Structure 1
Amino acid sequence: MLMKGKRGLVVGVANKWSIAWGISQRLLAEGAEVAFTYQNDRLGKNVRELTADLKDPILIPMDVTSDKQILMTFELLKRVWGHLDFIVHAVAYAPRAALEGQFLATSREDFRIAHDISAYSLAALCQSAAPIMGEGGAIVAMSYLGGTRVVPNYNVMGVAKASLEASVRYLAADMGPMGVRVNAISAGPIKTLAASGISGFGGMQRHHRNRAPLRKDTDAAEVGDATLFMLSDMARGITGQVLYVDGGFSIMGD
């Protein structure tokens, strides 16, 4: 029961295959109370179905591009819980046209959208969460190797993940004096709703499986376990870091 008595928010559950849902299951199993956001009514239906067995789940409509909705989310959590112990940021998006061909062809608008949703949203969440988080608080964001290396067709999303990882470091420095830790998990390629928009994703996954030292796909349960560790008091001395959960693929030369 590593998370017993802890309350937190998971942002990014879309369906049962979501990395965010795999993480949520581990947090719930370890005693955490979890609130969930959803972007729109369609995804809200999925989240309601996934949480149907939970007692009085807190489900909140929130679009991360809306400062007003983000603020309202944390005001609600303050009224219901009084404080917040953790946040999981598992949100990323870029227009499909920007996830094929060359990064060179990225439009200004696609660049803006990718960075707003995939990177700035972490800072926006932290701004509104800071007043109700304190000593022992922890935030974990989901990243990918494409933020540090060139991955075919990942394009502007890779640049956004690089921005996300830099944001993790700066937010860790700002929130550390408050007693709040900020880290990231860089997972191997997992087939999710977001991943389906990346051209050639199947090939990316096969290459990972063939080259990773463990010779296997990364699965959401592995990411869930790592995130559980980073959010728990067992990782109380770790902040501003990116933990790779990719079967060792990131250590290889190609």
Structure 2
Amino acid sequence: MGMLDGKKFLVTGVLMDSSIAFHVARIAQQEGAEVILTSFGRTMKITQTIAKRLPQTPPVIELDVADQEHLDTLAERLGEHTDRLDGVLHSIGFAPQGAFSFLDATWEDVSTALQISAYSLKSLAVACEPLMTDGGSIVGLTFDAKFAWPVYDWMGVAKAAFESTNRYLARDLGPKGIRCNLVAAGPIRTTAAKSIPGFEQFERVWDDRAPLGWDVKDPEPAAKACAVLLSDWFPATTGEIVHVDGGVHAMGQ
């Protein structure tokens, strides 16, 4: 019997097989879970193709977290594939290029980053909650927002909002038996990371600073942490951030 035997999960953010979300979906299936993926727009065909690389090809439903109609109908559309959800992985983030220049960014750029990268955690949780009648686990991916990182700029601010949103969700969904936790992963060379100007700055120094070392090409440690948080093995943990970064978060300069 696998750690996730009989569980049913919604996994967002599978774009390539280098995505952390892809490996969460893979591990979940290997541990006995059923998985449904989301995608939208031009990336739908890409996600459907990548989904075939999983142990079992899951359904892919359309979800743009900036589209209220998609959110309002999500539970109904999921109902075509499952009678419930035991967990949700939030692996969604986006900021316009202008948001990576802190002093020059416009509110239009910043508001987009905040909506897609922070507010969407609440939106997704509310949309999925009707199917989580027996409780469950919502897990999100963050990049430690305690610091002002080089190049991250307004995405860093969005991640700080994301982490705060997680705590408020933990407060409001806890009475319904729904746990809300985040995994703060070290830098992984994903499609999303490549869109961040200057991301290679993280790549150059992270392995040197990590007591355990760090491989920017290996998403599996972060994916395993997500899988465990989706399981029943953390029944009394919510509002937490689990660092999977080789230990960098605990080190001084």
When normalised by structure 1's length, the TM-score is 0.94
Task: Quote the residue 2:110 is aligned against.
Answer: 111
Q: Deviations over 1:36-83 (max 9, x none)?
A: 011223x22222122226656221111110111122222111343121
Q: Does 1:151 align with 2:149?
A: yes
Q: After superposition, where does 1:47-126 map in structure 2 within 5 Å?
A: 47-52=47-52, 57-99=58-100, 101=101, 103-126=102-125
| Partner residue, 1:172 | 170
* Distance of 1:133 and 1:14 partners within structure 2: 25
Distance (whole Å) between structure 2 residues aligned to residue 198 and residue 23 of structure 1 = 23
Give the equivalent residue in structure 2 for 1:132: 131
Cα deviation, 1:88-127, whole Å, max 9, x if unaligned, reads: 000001012322x4x1222100110000000111101111
RMSD across aligned C-alpha pairs, in angstroms?
Answer: 1.4
Asked whether the equivalents of residues 141 and 185 of structure 2 are also in contact (C-alpha less than 8 Å), the reply is yes
CA contact (8 A) 1:136 1:236 kept: no
Corresponding residue number in structure 2 for 1:160: 158
Q: Which amino acid aligns with 1:148?
A: K
Q: Does 1:34 align with 2:35?
A: yes
Cα-to-partner distance string for 1:179-228 (whole Å, 9 max, x where unaligned): 11000000000111111121211121111111111122252100111011
Are 1:45 and 2:45 an aligned pair? Answer: yes
User: Aligned partners of 1:204 and 1:57: how far apart in 2?
Assistant: 33
Q: Number of paired residues?
A: 250
**Match for residue 22 of structure 1?**
23
Distance 1:115 1:208 in 2: 26
Q: Within 1, Cα distance between the matches of 2:213 and 2:233?
A: 28
Letter in 2 for 1:229: V
Greater share of residues in helix:
1
Distance 2:45 2:82 in 1: 24
1 CA distance for matches of 2:77 and 2:164? 29
**Paired position in structure 2 for 1:186:** 184
Partner of 2:81, secondary structure, is helix
Gaps (5+ residues) in structure 1? none
Mapped partners of 2:23, 2:3: distance in 1: 16
Name the residue aligned to 1:252.
Answer: 251
User: Structure 2: which 5+ residue stretches go unaligned?
Assistant: none
- 8 Å CA contact 2:11, 2:37 repeated in 1: yes
Asked whether the equivalents of residues 217 and 247 of structure 1 are also in contact (C-alpha less than 8 Å), the reply is no
Give distance in 1, aligned partners of 2:81 and 2:18: 29
CA contact (8 A) 1:136 1:233 kept: no
Is the CA contact 1:20–1:90 (under 8 Å) kept in the aligned structure 2?
yes
Deviates more, 1:148-157 or 1:218-227: 218-227
Q: TM-score, normalised to structure 2's length?
A: 0.94
Letter in 2 for 1:21: F
Contact 1:213/1:249 (<8 A) preserved: yes
2:214 aligned partner = 216
Q: Any conservation in 2 of the 1:93–1:114 contact (CA below 8 Å)? A: yes
Instruction: Give the match for residue 234 of structure 1.
Output: 233
Give CA-to-partner distance per residue, 1:121-149, whole Å, 9 cap, x none: 1101111111110334100000002x110
